Amino acid sequence: MASGRYGTSNQLAGTAQAIAAAYKTIVALTAATATLRRAWPYEINVGADGTPADNALVFDLSRQTAAGTSTPATPTSLDPADAAADTVGSVNFTAEGTITAASSLWSLAMNQRASYRWVAREGAEFVIPATNLAGVALRCKSAAYTGTVTGQLHHQE
């Protein structure tokens, strides 16, 4: 199934996202136009790096069918012997992609003072289909917090 494992983070790309009451994409992974290979996201890491306070954050991983306007973020190979990833990473969104309605794959409400790591058990990874620009978007919103959050997605392909 997998030929390599990769990590994509908005923090490593230097683009922690400020959030608001509406969802803001933190990190997205999409199928590459040229190769159209499937990918399997298997780990999510999220947290807030703004001034500590008691605010609620809601993170969400949803399917998307079109990429928004963003900065490319090359997925980092977790094994230096692996080839470059075919999946496209994106961060620093200035325009949101097209999120598929009712497609939330994972959701988490947490206090701003916390951080969270989720890892799929073997065989239960999410799937990014081999369809042009199809993918997943890790998003966040908060009714009160307007500081920055970080997110990281690990995937295999």
pLDDT in tens, 23-71: 999 999 999 877 888 999 999 999 998 888 899 999 999 999 998 999 9
Which carries the bigger pLDDT value, residue 32 or residue 149?
A: 149
Q: Which residue shows structure tokens 């990833």?
A: 85
Distance between CA atoms of 58 and 24, rounded to whole angstroms? 11
pLDDT at 100 over 70: yes
How large a percentage of the chain has pLDDT more than 70? 97
State the pLDDT at residue 82.
92
Radius of gyration of the chain from its Cα atoms, rounded to whole angstroms: 15
State the pLDDT at residue 13.
60
Distance between CA atoms of 138 and 144, rounded to whole angstroms? 19
Segment 92-110 shows an average pLDDT of 95
Segment 90-117 shows an average pLDDT of 95
Burial of 121 (0-12, 13-18, 19+ CB in 10 A): exposed
DSSP reduced 3-state for 64: strand
> CA 19, 76, 39: angle at the middle one, nearest 5?
85
pLDDT at 1 over 60: no
CATH class of 5-156: mainly beta
Q: Which residue shows structure tokens 């959030």?
A: 19
Segment 98-124 shows an average pLDDT of 95
Side by side, which strands form the sheet with 24-30? Answer: 69-72, 88-95, 24-30, 135-141, 56-66, 98-111
- As given in the structure block, the two tokens for residue 90 are 């994106």
